[in-house]
Amino acid sequence: MRRRISVRSVISVCLPSESARDQIVPLPDDVRVLVWDGEGPAPEGIGETRFLLGGYMGGPVAESALAEMPHLEVIQLLSAGVERWLPMVPEGVILCNGRGVHGPATAELAVAGILAVLRQLPMFLTEQAAGRWTERHTEDLDGKRLLVLGAGDIGKHIAAALEVFGAVTTYVGRTARDGVRGVDELPALLPEADILAVAIPMTEQTQGLVDANALAALPDDAIVANVARGPIVDTDALVAELRAGRLRAFLDVTDPEPLPADHPLWHAGNVVITPHVGGGTSGWQRRGYRLVREQIERFVAGEPLHNVVGETY
């Protein structure tokens, strides 16, 4: 257990920008705020940093920058994914992710994408652009079998929203637990899924998890909705299934990313693509910096932190 910090000591917190400081203050009186993004000369006092906030959508700071913080105890991120940071975290330093910051918004986009595919909105938009009134029956969610790969914040929000319209959910997680099937059961579950929602963290174990065999196991006309990380799904295998007209997809993430203009996925058919904007809504900063402020306050008070990687990742 981490020792309790004396309320009389001054705790140095390093933030990546003045904007971050403006949105996090006010903080307890015994908190000293430093601003440094890891580039250029380090500010005076950086060696006393105990709590570091990583920049959102930027890569990890260089190892040389972390080396300037020998007393670092906590790295807090604003993103749910931590795969780029994991190799950089010094031994003994606690890493916390931004679970809860982007979950509702990312799930919202996943639901929008799934509905766009089911209700054929791209086709209707094409007809609208041409000034054609084209009536067509489409599908709804009632009775659809939803397989959610990843039983965390994002996955549970996706399921909660789709269940309102009659979808029936099965959760799959990296480890089996009450109400959640294990990844080892995935091959047996895929043939019964009308919608596969990918919301599992990116790790060595989940990279390529939805491979050619997994995609082939899905029934005809199933929808693959990926709002996690692109490399979890085998891109070439997905393109082949889309071109054959057997599967449909909604993708907010791709592999590679950004997706090159000449990549075959753009024109594979039966796919709606958005450029990794699931969490990029107007409300994320309010939620994110509220979490950071609370985490700093908990750290100063010696209280357990939320979203500790290893407990939630």
pTM, whole model, 2 decimals?
Answer: 0.84
pLDDT above 80: residue 260: yes
Mean pLDDT lowest among 6-15, 257-266, 269-278, 281-290: 6-15
Report domain 11-101+283-301's class. alpha beta
Segment 146-167 shows an average pLDDT of 96
* Element at 50 (helix H, strand E): strand 49-53
Share the mean pLDDT of the chain: 92
Q: Where are the domains of the chain?
A: 11-101+283-301, 103-273
pLDDT above 70: residue 95: yes
Confidence at 4, pLDDT banded by 50, 70, 90: very low
pLDDT above 80: residue 58: no
Burial 135-172 (b: 16+ CB within 10 A, else e): eeeeeebeebbbbbbbbbbbbbbbbebbeeeebebbbb
Looking at the chain, the whole-number percentage of residues with pLDDT higher than 70 is: 95
- pLDDT tens digits, one per residue of 114-156: 999 999 999 999 999 999 999 999 999 999 999 999 999 899 9
pLDDT above 90: residue 200: yes
The per-residue pLDDT for 285 is 86
In angstroms, the CA 72 to CA 121 distance is: 50
Segment 39-63 shows an average pLDDT of 86
Q: What are phi and psi of 263, to 5 degrees?
A: -70, 140
Q: What are phi and psi of 236, to 5 degrees?
A: -60, -40
- The DSSP code sequence of 127-195 is HHHTT---------STT-EEEEE--SHHHHHHHHHHHTTT-EEEEEESS-BTTBEEGGGHHHHGGG-SE
Q: Do 11-101+283-301 and 103-273 fold alike per CATH? A: yes
Return the number of other C-beta atoms located less than 10 Å from residue 286's C-beta.
11
Mean pLDDT lowest among 11-15, 61-65, 153-157: 61-65
pLDDT above 50: residue 3: no
Confidence at 2, pLDDT banded by 50, 70, 90: very low
In sign, the C-alpha dihedral spanning 90, 96, 101, 105 is positive
Helix (H, G, I), strand (E, B) or coil at 35: strand
Closest by alpha carbon to 248, among 231, 225, 266, 227?
225
Report domain 103-273's class. alpha beta
* Single-letter amino acid code for the residue at 209: L
Query: How are beta strands 49-53 and 11-15 bridged, if at all?
Result: parallel
Closest by alpha carbon to 210, among 148, 118, 276?
148
In angstroms, the CA 35 to CA 25 distance is: 13
pLDDT above 80: residue 8: no
